[in-house]
Amino acid sequence: MIQQILMSAADAAVGLAPSAAAQEGSMTAVVRFFQEGGTFMYIILAVFAFGLAIAIERFLYLGIVKRRNQVVWKHILPLLSKGDFARAEEVTQKSKSDIARILSYGMDQNIQGNRHDDIELAMEEGLMEIMPKLEKRTPYLATLANIATLLGLLGTIMGLITAFTAVANVDPAEKANLLSASISVAMNTTAFGLMAAIPLLLLFSYLQTKTTEIVDSLEMVAVKFVNLLRKRQAVLEKMKKRTAPNPAAKAAPKKA
């Protein structure tokens, strides 16, 4: 029984040894890849890290903004549908969400008795104030992706110049092998530049789409608020017509 346990433990150790060796070999390959690429590899890595930090910050910010807007809109929409604009205004004053800010612009114009066109312009002004905060720093990702690609190409060109200079005075028999090895090393920067640029471009597209969704939802809220005001005004006008006295009945002649 003890021999079987020892044999199974030995087999497990033998199985783990190749995997540990493979992990160590992969790490060595990555380190060698960076070392052979030269200084530009670390510059590209810094650009990628900076872009990744921006993407994470924007992702968290847009997620918080979207959740706040959803919570406030779910609370305000029933109040607006009932025509309870006083309580809706209280909710907007207490909230710090973007939807509350846009609705407060519209409600202030409504309280002053302005036209619907003026209300729409006021809410559009609020939206224009909010949009720069939503789009802030997102375009940097596309710029950083282009920079990473260009740095990769620049590193490759510099590596090729160094390689051709180094093999200028080498024995012709060894020149081909040395030149091919130098070119393969110089290509590392281009490869890593593309490896950094592609994820940054994908993150840029994702965040841009997320920002557009939030802006569209804010525009939808503004349009729905104005439509609810118009419906409320139409209902009030119908009620006034029903309660207004009939002038024909007043003007009816008296019987002798």
Domain coordinates of the chain in residue numbers?
38-240
* pTM assigned to the model: 0.75
Q: Which residues contact 145 (CB under 8 A, 6 or more apart)?
A: 51, 196, 197, 198, 200, 201, 204
Q: Could you read off the pLDDT of 76-130 as tens digits, one per residue?
A: 888 888 877 788 888 888 888 888 888 888 888 777 766 777 888 888 888 888 9
**Tokens 């720069």 — which residue?**
132
pLDDT band, residue 239 (cuts 50/70/90):
low
Longest dimension (CA), the chain: 136
The per-residue pLDDT for 46 is 95
Q: Could you read off the pLDDT of 164-191 as tens digits, one per residue?
A: 777 777 777 677 777 777 777 778 889 8
In terms of phi and psi (left: phi > 0; alpha: psi -120 to 50; beta: otherwise), the region of 26 is: alpha
